[in-house]
Amino acid sequence: MAKKSKDVPEEAAPAAEVTKLDRKTYEKEIARLQVELAHLQAWVKHSGARIVVIFEGRDAAGKGGLIKRITEKVSPRVFRVVALPSPSDREKSQIFMQRYVNHLPAAGEIVIFDRSWYNRPGVERVMGFTEESRVKAFLEGLPQLEAWLVGSGIILLKYFLDVSEEEQERRFRQRADDPVRQWKLSPMDVESYRRWWDYTAAYSEMIRKTDTDHAPWWIVDSSDKKRARINAITHLLSSIPYEKIKFDRPKFGKRQERPKGFDKDIVLRNVVQNVI
C-alpha cells in the first residue's frame, strides 16, 4: 500500500531486494481494479463529485504507466488527464496557479494531473527556472490554497512515486537502449539523473511544507512498477466514498429493415488490403 510520510525517503530499497510481482497476479488484480474504477466513474457522474488526483515523483518512477492503467478502461470525458507543456509567454505573465485552476473539475469529473502546480517547488526550483523567493512564498501559501479547494467540495489526493538511484539508472539505460522508449529520455531526465541529491532536497522540503491534514501526501514505492500500480490504485479507490450505481440495461429494440435495392451497407472505394 501507499505509505504516509513527511519526507521523501532518501533511498528506496534497491531493485535487487524487491520481490517483483508476477505478471499473472498483476494482470488479475489490475482487471479487478479497473472494474472498480468503472464503478467509481458511474458514481462520480451520478453524484456530481469533483476529484483531483496529483501524481508527482522521481523521473522514471512510472507515473505515465500508472495513469495509463487508471484511464485505459474508462471515459476520457470523466477521467481527464492534464499534462501541461511549458508555459507560453502569456501564461508566464499570469499568476502561477492560473493555468492550473482553469483545468479543475466540474461536477462529474476526475482530473488527473500528470505533474501539477508542484512543478514550481520541484523541477522549476532545481533547474533555476524561477526565483528562490518565489518558491519559498509559493510553499508558504499553497496549503491555504489547497484548503480552499478541499473546502469547496473537491476531493484532493496527492501521490509521490519514489524510486531508488539504482532503479532509476536501470530504467534510464533501458530507455536509451530501446528504440521505442528513447523518446521518453529527455534532456530534463538526463539532468535529473545528474542532480539526484538536488531533487531529493527539493522534494523533501516540498512534501514537508505541503503535507497537511486536509491534503496529505502519500508516498508510493515504485521500485516494482506492477506492485506500485496495484498499491496506488487500491489506495485511491479506498480514499473515495463511492458506491456502486445500478446499471440500467438499455432495450435495443428492433433494427430497421434493409431498404429495397440497397446492395451494400457501405459503398466500397478505397479499401485497405489485408497484409496478414
Task: Tell me whether residue 188 is in a domain.
Answer: yes
Residue 271 resides in a domain:
no
Question: Across the strands, what pairs with 112?
Answer: 53, 81
Spatial strand order of the sheet with 109-114 comes to 3-4, 217-221, 155-162, 50-57, 109-114, 79-82
Instruction: Please list the rounded mean pLDDT of every run of 10 residues in the chain (276 residues).
Output: 56 54 96 98 98 96 96 98 92 91 97 96 94 96 97 98 94 93 88 93 97 98 96 98 95 89 73 89
The answer to whether residue 274 is domain-embedded is no
Q: In this structure, how many other beta carbons lie within 10 angstroms of the beta carbon of residue 162?
A: 25
- For residue 185, is it within any domain? yes
Which pTM does this prediction carry?
Answer: 0.88
Q: For strand 155-162 and strand 79-82, is the pairing parallel, antiparallel, or unpaired?
A: unpaired
Q: What's the CATH number where 53 sits?
A: 3.40.50.300
Structural domain boundaries, residue 37 = 3-8+20-238
13 part of a folded domain = no
Is 270 a member of any domain? no
Distance separating alpha carbons of residues 230 and 241, to the nearest angstrom: 19
Residue 243 lies in a domain: no
In a domain, 152, yes or no: yes
Q: Where are the alpha helices (DSSP H) in 179-250?
A: 187-194, 196-210, 225-238
What is the domain count for the chain?
A: 1
Take residue 66 and report the three cell numbers written for it: 500508472
pLDDT at res. 13: 43
Q: What is the pLDDT of residue 7?
A: 55
